[in-house]
Chain A
């Protein structure tokens, strides 16, 4: 039989709620990562807006004129489409990449204090959520209200964003766990990130992709989230629920799978940290 009992959580007042401890740990760990990231920077958290904004400008300058005919001849629609897509992809890649390194990066602490390991990848995602919540997420919400003039669309924006967060959390947990065992994972993930970027209809219209690539769009979870967010922000006509449902299902599935992978591998973490 294997068991470990403690009459009180690691250190501190007894009977402290377990959930409260988790939220405290995640909040403080996320805060720590934000502090480190923006120490000595001028723009600080605004960088998380600058990144997709500047990329949108670049894409529009290069591809805007050529692809605008797929957007009803409107450059504005191309700009909005590219921006919404970039919000999704940059968030996903930033959150998962940070989460991937979080368990290994805190190996020193984990060898000293009994902290639930999952705190670190969850905090990485939380830090990225916070960054976007004060920058791009409100813009996306406003965009939805202005463009669609429809309450249903606007209400579904947070739902799709939550699905995106769930998706990133699932990938983040799995990557963080796998990185403990495979230290060359960041190289692979960098390539995978680029493949994801280029194979998502991000700066080009989905229509120009060959038929067999479009099948990939359907199973690419990031492309699903991206299509869903476009539908609820800049969709024209009545709401098509299919992409929203696909995004929510993909997010839930990824979260569950990631949590299971993390749980299964957690046992051996401490031997390799």
Chain B
């Protein structure tokens, strides 16, 4: 039997985002001036080989921009490799990630049915499943409202409910555990556990090292578009965390809580070496909403154990349940 996922010598070269500012006017001007603008391309994934067997649960880790999500998109068939072969055997659920491509003007029900048809399902089959999906997402009361009325957390819930309604052979998860409120996250985790127990193949991208170490058997650490480590999850996570430089004024997870506990005010001195000064953005995720926090008042006492603090997309602080902060 063929492997569930088989990537052989895969490379992906993409046009850079600055091309977005490419327009006809500028093209015409450049043409008149006699120099056509070269298209800028860069290699996102380089000579990547990855074989995932049926039923394997693997986690993909690595710094931001290393190509983790891109690997998922290659597996999902959303992106095609520039070189190499991508073989996928079995049905693939759509990528589950923050920000779902719903039509804002359609009702929830219409979006569910449409999404299902895009996934290759039958229209009638989707109509029968609508109630179950809305039930799971806990959005049954607003089924006929336009989808734009949903908060980002709610639409993430809906996306998760649709993609997991059918038991796909291969499930691709991109930071899905960072959305929704605590209660819904537990519900999602419970549903995912069902897949975990079943024979589904799961590929999970996350910065939640604890979750990866706990739930995955195998970890792929990607850096600069190449596989840096491929092996047992616990070992991979350990090696990855050890590699993260601690000298930039930022400590992570448990260390941060310890720092707060030891300090008199419960504040962590981040001023002066603040992440935004280094061009990073700090986010607070509370009740499923993600919002930027200013660094000047970045003190732990403002936050409860429900909160997650991100720098860019990496979790730096997830205060464990039951522990008091500040």
Interface residues of A (CB under 8 A from B): 1-13, 16, 21, 24-25, 28-29, 32, 35-36, 39, 106-115, 181-185, 188, 267-268, 270-272
Q: Which residues of B contact A1 (CB under 8 A)?
A: 83-85
Q: Give bound CA distance, A1 to B10, whole Å.
A: 10
Asked if B91 and A11 make an inter-chain contact with CB atoms under 8 angstroms apart, the answer reads yes
Partner of B120, one of A2, A9, A183, A271: A9
B23, B83, B97 interface centre (most CB from chain A within 10 Å): B23
Asked whether any CB of chain A lies closer than 8 Å to the CB of B73, the reply is: yes
**Minimum CB distance partner of A37 in chain B:** B105
Asked if A182 and B27 make an inter-chain contact with CB atoms under 8 angstroms apart, the answer reads yes
Asked if B120 and A16 make an inter-chain contact with CB atoms under 8 angstroms apart, the answer reads yes
Asked if A8 and B91 make an inter-chain contact with CB atoms under 8 angstroms apart, the answer reads yes
Known contacts A6-B77, A25-B118, A270-B78; 17 additional CB pairs below 8 A are A3-B85, A3-B86, A4-B85, A5-B88, A11-B91, A11-B94, A11-B166, A12-B119, A28-B113, A28-B114, A35-B106, A36-B103, A113-B76, A113-B95, A182-B24, A271-B14, A271-B15
CB distance from B30 to the nearest CB of A (A): 13
CB distance from B68 to the nearest CB of A (A): 15
Q: Which residues of A contact B277 (CB under 8 A)?
A: none
Q: Which residues of A contact B89 (CB under 8 A)?
A: 7
CB distance from A145 to the nearest CB of B (A): 36
Asked if A112 and B78 make an inter-chain contact with CB atoms under 8 angstroms apart, the answer reads yes
Asked if A270 and B79 make an inter-chain contact with CB atoms under 8 angstroms apart, the answer reads yes
Asked if A35 and B77 make an inter-chain contact with CB atoms under 8 angstroms apart, the answer reads no
Asked if A272 and B120 make an inter-chain contact with CB atoms under 8 angstroms apart, the answer reads no
Asked whether any CB of chain A lies closer than 8 Å to the CB of B20, the reply is: yes
**Minimum CB distance partner of A110 in chain B:** B78
- With A109-B101, A188-B24 already in contact, the answer to whether A2 and B84 are too (CB < 8 A) is yes
Interface residues of B (CB under 8 A from A): 2, 14-15, 17, 19-20, 22-25, 27, 73, 76-95, 97, 99-101, 103, 105-106, 110, 113-115, 117-121, 123, 146, 166, 168
Counting from the closest, the 9 A-B pairs by CB-CB distance are A12-B120, A108-B101, A114-B77, A109-B101, A271-B15, A11-B119, A184-B23, A182-B24, A36-B105
Q: Give bound CA distance, A32 to B19, whole Å.
A: 30
Q: Give bound CA distance, A8 to B88, whole Å.
A: 9
Asked if A112 and B19 make an inter-chain contact with CB atoms under 8 angstroms apart, the answer reads no
Asked if B15 and A113 make an inter-chain contact with CB atoms under 8 angstroms apart, the answer reads no
CB distance from B159 to the nearest CB of A (A): 8
Q: Give bound CA distance, A13 to B105, whole Å.
A: 30
Asked if B81 and A4 make an inter-chain contact with CB atoms under 8 angstroms apart, the answer reads yes
9 pairs from A and B in contact (CB 8 Å cutoff): A4-B81, A21-B120, A28-B113, A113-B76, A113-B78, A181-B22, A184-B23, A268-B15, A272-B15
